[in-house]
Amino acid sequence: MEKPKLTLAVYGIGRMPLDRSNHYLELAELLSHRFQLSFVEVRNDIGEFTNPRSGETNSKTRHESLFADAFKITRDFRDVEHKELLELSKQYNDVHDDGYISNSNLIQQLLMLREISVEIKKLNHGLVLCIRDDLSFNPETLVSSCITNIPTNMFLTSVFHSNCGICERFVFGSLELVEVLLQRLNSVEEFLQASSELNYSHSEGLNGEWLMRYTVEKNNFSPICAPLFTKRYRATGNFAKERISLRPRHLIRETASLFGLLRHFKFKLLRRILK
């Protein structure tokens, strides 16, 4: 039987050095056993950067690619559209209280994701796994959670790092569904207008996980939330401190991730029964 086709898309600023990125190569190797693979890499070419919130000062980015045969896009995403959306976000609260630096970074990520959406549509592979390039994770756990016959209205992500929204660090699903999620930049303005009325947002303003949840619920998608913990690498050589559990006092707002975790266990049980 012919293996299904999958596009593995990786994006970021090249924060993690190659000698600490072997798990991405392992991820590709494990996926190749189950899928016909193509690769897309999108790099935000910002050169040296400073991020007070993460403790990074005058840090340099990696220029090398992860995959030699990937389709590559490298450019500076701090363009006119980025500046316009950043100014729009400044009409609302600074959710991260860092002078809107996190808003700027998020908008650049969303611009990268939109570029990926264009390329995966050209490749026209039935399945897509899109993931940041600066994460530490267990490749075996991720691959084992990728369901080849995933329902068209569902996608895979993590139950962790949801911040009352939905985790945005990686997504696996059908081309049609993932394409919509990768274009959530188009929903920024309407999300900001609605943010004060959303029962899961803590403040009126821009936040990546809340925007993800807004896009998911707007399109009636359902997450499958695997218990896959990830850590973000910092150019200081360390990993960011990450909360390993959902916040108990916010559990009432974590319904999207909690129901997603139940879906994960449901599909895991069904696969065992069908073996």
Condensed to tens digits (0 to 9), the pLDDT of residues 165-179 reads 999 999 999 999 999
Where is pLDDT greater, at 247 or 36?
36
pLDDT tens digit string along 74-98? Answer: 999 999 999 999 999 999 999 999 9
The answer to whether 49 and 78 are in contact (CB under 8 A) is: no
**What pLDDT score does 55 carry?**
77
The answer to whether 130 and 171 are in contact (CB under 8 A) is: yes
**What pLDDT score does 124 carry?**
97
pLDDT(226) > 80: yes
Residues ≥6 apart with Cβ < 8 Å to 230:
135, 136, 137, 158, 160, 161, 169, 170, 242
- Domain residues for 107? 5-274
Predicted TM-score (pTM) of the model is: 0.95
Q: How far is the C-alpha of 114 from the C-alpha of 118, rounded, in Å? A: 7
**What pLDDT score does 121 carry?**
96
pLDDT confidence band for 275 (50 / 70 / 90)? low
CA torsion through residues 264, 265, 271, 274, sign: negative
243 CB burial (10 A radius; 0-12, 13-18, 19+): exposed
pLDDT tens digit string along 25-60? Answer: 999 999 999 999 999 999 999 988 777 777 777 778
Q: How far is the C-alpha of 275 from the C-alpha of 85, rounded, in Å? A: 49
pLDDT averaged over the chain?
A: 93
**Closest of 134, 79, 133 to residue 111, by C-alpha:** 79
What is the torsion angle, in degrees rounded to the nearest 10, for the CA atoms of residue 165, residue 169, residue 170 and residue 176?
Answer: 50
Taking CA atoms, 264 is separated from 100, 205, 230, 235, 241, in Å, by: 35, 30, 17, 33, 25
**What pLDDT score does 75 carry?**
94
For the chain, the first-to-last Cα distance in angstroms comes to: 17
Q: How far is the C-alpha of 264 from the C-alpha of 270, rounded, in Å? A: 10
**What pLDDT score does 87 carry?**
98
Task: Give how many domains the chain has, as a whole number.
Answer: 1
pLDDT confidence band for 61 (50 / 70 / 90)? confident
Q: How far is the C-alpha of 77 from the C-alpha of 91, rounded, in Å? A: 21
**What pLDDT score does 239 carry?**
85
**What pLDDT score does 182 carry?**
98
pLDDT(244) > 80: no
pLDDT tens digit string along 104-124? Answer: 999 999 999 999 999 999 999
**What pLDDT score does 190 carry?**
97
The answer to whether 189 and 88 are in contact (CB under 8 A) is: yes
Taking CA atoms, 223 is separated from 28, 111, 163, 260, 264, in Å, by: 23, 22, 15, 5, 9
Provide φ and ψ at 70, rounded to 5°: -80, 150
pLDDT confidence band for 245 (50 / 70 / 90)? low
Residue 45, both tokens: 């070419």
**What pLDDT score does 216 carry?**
98
**What pLDDT score does 52 carry?**
77
What is the CATH number for 207? 3.90.550
Provide φ and ψ at 174, rounded to 5°: -70, 155
pLDDT(246) > 90: no
What would the mean pLDDT of 223-239 be, rounded to a whole number? 92
What would the mean pLDDT of 227-252 be, rounded to a whole number? 82
The answer to whether 132 and 170 are in contact (CB under 8 A) is: yes
The answer to whether 165 and 207 are in contact (CB under 8 A) is: yes
Residue 146, both tokens: 């990728």
